[in-house]
């Protein structure tokens, strides 16, 4: 029972942190034009290292937060769950398997997790946004009279550059916390 209660508490704390990062303006979603640099994906490697398999839920948390932020702030490209939630769920799964593949955490492996989190977030969101546009065309792209792929790439260029750098640095700074999570998990009779 203790393990289950502790897991529920940790999940609740992480969900609350995710909501703070996604819903408070310019905290976890820093606006640049019509695209936001999503620092909320910082929660994904943090949860995966701390809670292991339960950390996969981090993608769902970040996706739900991004979906709610899109509704609250009128970000029309991201109000669809297939664009805002599903890619983040896949990021959570991918980061979990990346973490398991890398093994015991150190500074360089933490940097890989941070970069992968940002890169995969941008990649998956872009793929799902373009797939959504292919099935249900956005008026936004249709009115520009350009190739949607080229237009989207130019639109997210600041994101492609800034987000991986920012998340890699932040996750690198959190390496001591990741090491602490691993050591406390090894020294505990509670197995995640």
The reply to whether 164 falls in a domain is yes
The reply to whether 191 falls in a domain is no
The reply to whether 14 falls in a domain is yes
In the predicted structure, residue 187 carries a pLDDT above the cut 80: no
Residues spanned by the domain of 158: 2-186
- Comparison of pLDDT for 89 and 149, the residue scoring more: 89
The answer to whether 151 and 144 have CB atoms below 8 angstroms apart is yes
Over the stretch 15-71, which tens digit does the pLDDT of each residue have? 999 999 999 988 887 876 666 678 899 999 999 999 999 999 999 999 999 999 999
Residue 131 has a CB neighbour count (10 Å cut-off) of: 13
CATH number of residue 115's parent domain: 1.10.1760.20
For the chain, helix (H) and strand (E) counts, in that order, are 9, 2
Domain count across the chain: 1
In the predicted structure, residue 118 carries a pLDDT above the cut 70: yes
């Amino acid at each position: 029972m203790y393990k289950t209660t502790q897991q529920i508490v940790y999940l609740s704390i992480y969900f609350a942190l995710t909501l703070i990062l996604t819903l408070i303006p310019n905290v976890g979603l820093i606006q640049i034009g019509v695209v936001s640099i999503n620092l909320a994906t910082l929660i994904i490697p943090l949860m995966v290292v701390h809670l292991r398999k339960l950390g996969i839920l981090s993608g769902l948390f970040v996706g739900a937060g991004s979906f709610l932020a899109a509704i609250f702030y009128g970000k029309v490209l991201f109000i669809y769950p297939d664009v805002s939630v599903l890619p983040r769920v896949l990021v959570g799964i991918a980061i979990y398997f990346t973490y398991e593949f890398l093994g015991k955490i150190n500074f360089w492996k933490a940097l890989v997790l941070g970069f992968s989190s940002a890169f995969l977030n941008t990649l998956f969101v872009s793929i799902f946004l373009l797939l959504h546009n292919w099935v249900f065309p956005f008026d936004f792209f249709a009115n520009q009279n350009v190739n949607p792929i080229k237009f989207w790439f130019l639109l997210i260029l600041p994101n492609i550059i800034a987000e991986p750098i920012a998340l890699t640095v932040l996750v690198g700074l959190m390496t001591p916390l990741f090491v602490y999570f691993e050591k406390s998990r090894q020294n505990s009779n509670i197995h995640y």
